[in-house]
Amino acid sequence: MSGVKTEELIAEKLQELGFNDENTLFADSSCPDEINHDDPEEDITSLFQKRWGEVFPLAGLAGLPFTGQTGWAAFSSSTVEDGNIVILYAPHIGIDNDGTVGQVMREG
């Protein structure tokens, strides 16, 4: 499923629950590899940020949150009172142009 379609479906469900850009803080816990962030019109993290506003980055390699207790406290204290948080946890696997899972064609 494309990033655009995935983001639209998730946003629809969250909006049904009362999430909006005024009461929701988005945290990105996806792998920072450049293949995850090379197309702002398709990349799920860029689309979430456009929908929910600012982003609070949490992740290191494989998308594992690396902020520790202090980072989580800083993140949660940025949430509006009685607000919502959306955390995108997304390690990645490559899929090449032929559909081979675990492979990615990189420039060069």
| Model confidence band, residue 1 (pLDDT cutoffs 50, 70, 90) | confident
Q: Domain limits at 39?
A: 3-90
103 within a domain of the structure (yes/no): no
On whether the CB atoms of residues 53 and 46 are closer than 8 A, the answer is: no
100 within a domain of the structure (yes/no): no
* Structural domains counted in the chain: 1
96 within a domain of the structure (yes/no): no
pLDDT for the residue 58: 84
Q: Say how far apart CA 39 and CA 41 lie, in whole Å.
A: 5
Place of tokens 């009172």: 81
Q: Which residue did the predictor score with more confidence, 17 or 1?
A: 17
Q: Say how far apart CA 81 and CA 31 lie, in whole Å.
A: 29
72 within a domain of the structure (yes/no): yes
104 within a domain of the structure (yes/no): no
Phi, psi of 78 (to 5 degrees): -85, -5
Q: Say how far apart CA 67 and CA 46 lie, in whole Å.
A: 20
Mean pLDDT on 67-93: 86
